[in-house]
């Protein structure tokens, strides 16, 4: 059996974790909205058409904020189409995903849904086919209490109280040639700057997120961040990198797939480096932080929307998604917002029986690392020191078999550990400066079949289990980690 050692110490402080690092994302893509969070006529939907079972699962994760309405979708979206009486709303082509958008669900509905799900709204504006005035009008509609055309229109539509949305995204993935209104770094930087200026004239209390690179492999990565921030630095608080890890790109090689979150660490660190370069260039003490507002494991075998039935996350996928969560926590000093994409169905930790008026909602395998991190990972991020075996694979060298992060919480310490190996590992965890307490807990998520998934017929195939073979002596805990497993050790 392989062996490993993890050292945690209360002085290994990285920084305070912003709870918004556990946020998510809802887009008009696939059945995330329609037949996902919104399904009028379903036996479990409320009077507004919101799936009550989905809302309860969102509450179970304790999602602090949800980004809306995109994503690629927002770059061709007229927000005015999704407010007011539903009978008057126009039907449009969903040019992002080659479908039809009825606009039955829009801003008013999403804000109402978010309140029921106990989450905040992160709103994106269209800087693809539209621009700064439309963004300002949407902000006025949402945040101005009353007394102006757009705020009074919201009141007319039935919402007397302002929505008071505090975080706004200035477009989406504008570096991508697939994006409607794709721009050069200079073109986007100038537009983002002037849009930010106008929006903050309207509401100085908001925080703004400027588009970063759509992935570390983009040809303009680095150059994009430098130019965009050079233009918009004084008016924005965050830059948004995006990344999806794909087993298809990694040729279904488990060792390579398990190692792929190491690229997330590198992507984050390089993005921060460019942010600090621009600050140094401007001789400014201001820190631009990261809103990593799209991340996940991505199935890339064909048209994603048409093959949504194949978007069931396996036990193996869940471990890799957990690895991305650890990467985010490792730079909690600068990653302040992150959105797992998406929340329901396509790419989601929550799945529904689409089209079935009596169908259930269930938790995918990756639901559990996300839930564990959100519920048990709020507090102060602590660096861990790991001694373990390493391996080489097709794309990476010297990959540690064990990845880990610790969080000091109000109730003690949580240690998140991933075993990337297909063999069991005996791990010794030393908690410096802490007492293990009377009832330490070890939760493990794994399966004897790494490709096992949760389905409508068998929703509990891949679920976390409490482990009973853990030993505690002083400030040291010894535990056995299952192959390809996500683990939570709490003291």
CA dihedral 168, 209, 20, 157 (to 10 degrees): 10
Give the residue among 106, 123, 120, 118 at the shortest CA–CA distance from 57. 118
Q: In DSSP terms, which residues pair with 8 in a beta bridge?
A: 384, 431
Distance in angstroms (rounded) separating the CA atoms of residues 450 and 459: 16
Question: CB-side exposure of 262: number of CA atoms within 13 Å?
Answer: 18
What's the burial of 404, exposed, middle or buried (CB within 10 Å: 0-12/13-18/19+)?
buried
- Dist. CA 351–CA 309, nearest whole Å: 10
Q: How far apart are CA 105 and CA 101, in angstroms?
A: 9
Structure tokens at 293: 């507002």
Instruction: Tell the burial category of 198 from Cβ atoms under 10 Å away from its Cβ (0-12, 13-18, 19+).
Output: middle
Catalytic residue annotation: 173, 294
d(CA 82, CA 77): 9
Rounded to whole angstroms, the Cα distance separating 431 from 438 reads 14
Q: 260: which 2 tokens?
A: 């792929």
Radius of gyration of the CA atoms of the chain, in A: 22
Residue 383 CA from chain centroid, whole number:
22
Q: Around Cβ 359, how many Cβ atoms within 10 Å?
A: 19
- DSSP H helices in 123-253: 132-143, 149-156, 185-202, 223-232
How far apart are alpha carbons 116 and 110 in whole angstroms? Answer: 10
416 touches 377 (CB < 8 A): yes
Host H or E run for residue 206? none
User: Are residues 334 and 274 in contact, defined by beta-carbon separation less than 8 angstroms?
Assistant: no
Q: How far apart are CA 172 and CA 178, in angstroms?
A: 11
| Phi, psi at 22, each rounded to 5° | -105, 30
Helices H, strands E: what count in the chain? 10, 25
Cβ atoms of 486 and 450 within 8 Å: the answer is no
State how far the Cα of 72 lies from the Cα of 282, in Å rounded to an integer.
32
Question: Which residue shows structure tokens 């482990």?
Answer: 467
C-beta separation of 324 from 265 below 8 A:
no
């Amino acid at each position: 059996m392989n062996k490993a050692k993890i050292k945690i110490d209360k002085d290994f402080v990285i920084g305070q974790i912003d709870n918004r690092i556990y946020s998510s994302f809802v887009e008009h893509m696939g059945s995330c909205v329609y037949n996902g969070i919104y399904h009028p006529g379903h036996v479990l939907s409320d009077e507004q058409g919101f799936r009550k079972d989905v809302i309860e699962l969102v509450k179970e994760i304790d999602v602090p904020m949800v980004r809306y309405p995109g994503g690629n979708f927002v770059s061709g979206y007229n927000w005015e189409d999704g407010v007011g009486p539903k009978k008057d709303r126009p039907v449009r082509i969903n040019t992002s995903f080659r479908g039809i958008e009825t606009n039955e669900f829009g801003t008013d509905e999403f804000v109402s849904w978010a309140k029921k799900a106990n989450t905040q709204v992160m709103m994106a504006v269209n800087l693809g086919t539209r621009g700064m005035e439309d963004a300002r009008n949407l902000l006025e509609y949402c945040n101005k209490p009353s007394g102006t055309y757009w705020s009074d229109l919201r009141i007319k539509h039935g919402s007397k109280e302002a929505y008071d949305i505090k975080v706004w995204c200035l477009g989406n993935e504008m570096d991508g040639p697939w994006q409607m209104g794709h721009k050069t770094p200079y073109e986007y930087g100038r537009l983002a700057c002037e849009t930010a200026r106008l929006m903050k004239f309207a509401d100085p209390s908001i925080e703004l997120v400027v588009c970063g690179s759509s992935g570390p492999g983009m040809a303009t990565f680095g150059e994009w961040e430098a130019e965009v921030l050079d233009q918009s630095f004084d008016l924005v608080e965050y830059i948004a990198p995006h990344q999806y890890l794909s087993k298809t790109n990694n040729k279904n090689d488990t060792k390579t797939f398990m190692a792929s979150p190491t690229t997330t660490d590198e992507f984050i660190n390089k993005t921060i480096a460019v942010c600090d370069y621009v600050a140094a260039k401007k001789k400014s003490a201001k820190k631009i932080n990261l809103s990593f507002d799209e991340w996940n494991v991505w199935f890339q075998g064909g048209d994603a929307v048409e093959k949504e039935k194949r978007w069931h996350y396996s036990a193996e996928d869940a471990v890799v998604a957990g690895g991305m969560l650890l990467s985010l926590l490792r730079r909690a000093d600068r990653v302040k917002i992150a959105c797992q994409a998406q929340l329901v169905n396509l790419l989601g930790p929550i799945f529904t029986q689409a089209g079935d008026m009596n169908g259930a909602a269930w938790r995918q395998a990756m639901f559990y690392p996300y839930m564990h991190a959100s519920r048990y990972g709020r507090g102060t991020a602590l660096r861990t020191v790991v001694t373990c075996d390493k391996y080489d694979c097709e794309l990476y060298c010297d990959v540690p078999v064990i990845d880990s992060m610790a969080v000091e919480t109000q109730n003690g310490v949580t240690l998140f550990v991933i075993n990337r190996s297909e063999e069991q590992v005996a791990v010794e965890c030393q908690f410096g400066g802490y007492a293990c307490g009377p009832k330490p807990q070890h939760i493990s998520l794994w399966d004897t079949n790494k490709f096992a998934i949760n389905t409508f017929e068998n929703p509990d195939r891949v679920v976390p289990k409490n482990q009973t073979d853990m030993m505690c002596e002083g400030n040291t805990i010894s535990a056995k980690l299952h192959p390809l497993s996500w683990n939570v050790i709490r003291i």
